[in-house]
Amino acid sequence: MNITEEHLTMADDVRLFVQIVGDGQQVVLIPNGYYLFDALARFARGRTLVFIDPRNRGRSDAIADRAKIERGIRHDVADFEAVRRHLGARRVDAIGHSYMGATVALYAMTHPDRTGRVVQIGAIAADPSKTYPAHLTNNDATLSSVFGRIGRLQKQQPPLERAEFCRSFWKILRELYVLDPADADRLPWEPCHLPNEGGFMKQFNDFVLPSIQTLNLTDADYARATAPVLAIHGRGDRSSPYGGGREWALRLPNARLVTIANAAHVPWIEDPDTVFDAIGTFLDGAWPASAERVESLE
């Protein structure tokens, strides 16, 4: 597999780390490449996959200047457009997981003429403060257990040294991302070797989440996203409620939903065949057989 790695400089001199795989005409932007590469590089045949570490994340430049991160996902949308221009691509597809699921949708609304096809996986709700009915969320015992253990870890005395704390934190947190906590070790996320990732939760709470909360998307905003959008969502998602995934598919004008019944926030861990088959079919230009048109939240 041919992989090109480079840093691309944005207009404000922030450098983003990118990995480019393949050389096909179909260009697919994949933010948060540092943890999605192993899962999604399989789609490089016949395409050009561009894995991006967003600003102040992964292997991109560390940023101390608030002005360069305070716009949250709006910075990311502008950066995606800068990457597209750098590549000389007329249009790009995009795959976004978690909060980046909202980001790629916002890119489609902001640059409809530059957007090909969009995949949202476990996307955060467009309104993160919205409360969905119990059957559209998964506030189960695992959620309570994980938050309780993380709280005790943070208060532990004497405190753990940084690397050990990071490893312990992620060992607990991984349980949220799979439906059965016994599957947590199948998710080998532990970004403790990346200094930027150690401080991401502060960036998320201070800038990323507020930037999503202030979107206040209207019907006219959704209507601007004319690109086909495939939402893939685990019914047992604790981090991004399943109701939010249904709402994206309901309100975006050209969207369909693939529900992964026995999965949570990282559905390709527990049902890889369904998830990867759906993505491959969609990127090839067709709707997966399992994709439904959503007529209501129920």
pTM of the model: 0.96
pLDDT of residue 220: 98
Half-sphere exposure of 11 (CA within 13 A, CB side): 8
pLDDT tens string, the chain, 298 residues long: the values are: 789 999 999 999 999 999 999 999 999 999 999 999 999 999 999 999 999 999 999 999 999 999 999 999 999 999 999 999 999 999 999 999 999 999 999 999 999 999 999 999 999 999 999 999 999 999 999 999 999 999 999 898 888 888 888 889 889 999 999 999 999 999 988 888 898 888 788 899 999 999 999 999 999 999 999 999 999 999 999 999 999 999 999 999 999 999 999 999 999 999 999 999 999 999 999 999 999 999 998 8
Selected from 3.40.50.2300, 3.20.80.10, 3.40.50.1820, 3.90.1150.10, the CATH number assigned to the domain covering 3-138+201-283 reads 3.40.50.1820
pLDDT of residue 231: 98
pLDDT of residue 161: 87
pLDDT of residue 199: 79
List the domain boundaries for the chain.
Answer: 3-138+201-283, 141-193
pLDDT of residue 189: 82
pLDDT of residue 234: 98
Query: What is the C-alpha separation between 221 and 275, in angstroms, rounded?
Result: 28
pLDDT of residue 188: 81
CA-CA-CA-CA torsion sign (216, 222, 223, 224): positive
For the chain, give the secondary structure using H, E and C.
CCEEEEEEECCCCCEEEEEEECCCCEEEEEECHHHHHHHHHHHHCCEEEEEEECCCCCCCCCCCCHHHCCCCHHHHHHHHHHHHHHHCCCCEEEEEECHHHHHHHHHHHHCHHHEEEEEEECCCCCCCCCCCCHHHCCCCHHHHHHHHHHHHHHHCCCCCCHHHHHHHHHHHHHHHHCCCHHHHHHCCCCHHHCHHHHCHHHHHHHHHHHHHHCCCCCHHHHHCCCCCEEEEEECCCCCCCHHHHHHHHHHCCCEEEEEECCCCCCHHHHCHHHHHHHHHHHHCCCCCCCCECCCCCC
Query: What is the C-alpha separation between 199 and 194, in angstroms, rounded?
Result: 10
pLDDT of residue 259: 98
